[in-house]
Amino acid sequence: MNDKIDVLDNGYVRLTNVMGSDLSVVNSARVSYDKESTDLSEKDIRLIKFLAREGHTSPFRHATVQFEIYAPLMVARQHWKYIVGSDHTMDSWNESSRRYVTEEPAFYIPQADEWRSAPENSKQGSGGSVSVDIGAKLTGQLMSLIEQGEMAYGWAIKNGVCAEQARLFLPAYGMYVRYYWTASLQSVAHFLNQRLAHDSQVEIQEYAKAVYELVKPRFPVSIGELVKTEV
């Protein structure tokens, strides 16, 4: 079973650990009656559907998954804002820091045909693609900016500046960061329902699709009932 999916130009989502299955959801619900299933039956599937439909979410917190994610900072911060607002769904987050890490930085650089226009009727989000000519100029300008930042960063490090200050020279929003996200099945489903939506940022949609593809085979019934956004 695939446990890693590449995303964007340099990013990826990797499933590193899984605790539980659809059966874990069933048994955590049935413990109220001192009952336990050893194999997932049609009766158990009906129970999962009932729990999801009626909003009885606590049994879905007894199954846990852990991901390693490598994403541009703009994606990671969107993801993090969701985590902060979802403490009841049980999440843990640890991220690499350029206070300590001085590895070669990587950046998300959209290609000429990947730049999007501003939306016509909203203050956020994006519209259709800009022309390839404009896109090519934007890609070139971004690459030039990154090159300048990396040179200044390298010069600062070489001349003894601490990493936590030298990083100020690196263009932040497109720089890739690596983090571990451990979450309950309820939390994962909430993230997917929010970030698979057509009006969410395109880049984070791609990460949500990867999370979905990795977690769905492990919890096919629960994810099928909890995630209502079309993939």
Please state the separation of Cα 56 from the chain's center in Å. 25
Amino acid at 58: S
pLDDT reading at 99 higher than 70: no
The least confident of 29-33, 83-87, 122-126, 158-162 is 83-87
The CATH code of the domain at 4-99+176-226 is 3.30.1360.170
Q: Is 53 a catalytic residue?
A: no
CB burial of residue 212 (10 Å; 0-12, 13-18, 19+): buried
Q: What is the pLDDT of residues 189-226, one digit of tens each?
A: 999 998 998 888 999 999 999 999 999 999 999 999 99
- pLDDT, residue 118, reads 84
Which of 71, 95, 103 is closest to 170 using CA atoms?
103
The model carries a pTM of: 0.89
Average pLDDT estimate for 109-133:
85
Q: What is the pLDDT of residues 3-59, one digit of tens each?
A: 999 999 999 999 999 999 999 999 999 887 677 778 899 999 999 999 999 999 899
- pLDDT, residue 47, reads 95
Q: What would the DSSP string read from start to end of the chain?
A: ---EEEETTTEEEEEEEEE--HHHHHHHHHGGGT---SS--HHHHHHHHHHHHHT--GGGGG-EEEEEEEEEHHHHHHHHHHHHTTGGG-EEEEE--TTT--SPP-B----TT--BPPPSS-SSS--SBPPHHHHHHHHHHHHHHHHHHHHHHHHHHHTT--HHHHGGGS--TTBEEEEEEEEEHHHHHHHHHHHSSTTS-HHHHHHHHHHHHHHTTTSHHHHHHH--S--
Q: Point out the catalytic residue in the list 98, 167, 178, 195.
A: 195
The least confident of 79-83, 140-144, 155-159 is 79-83
Q: Is 20 left (phi over 0), alpha (psi -120 to 50) or beta?
A: left
First to last CA, the chain: 20
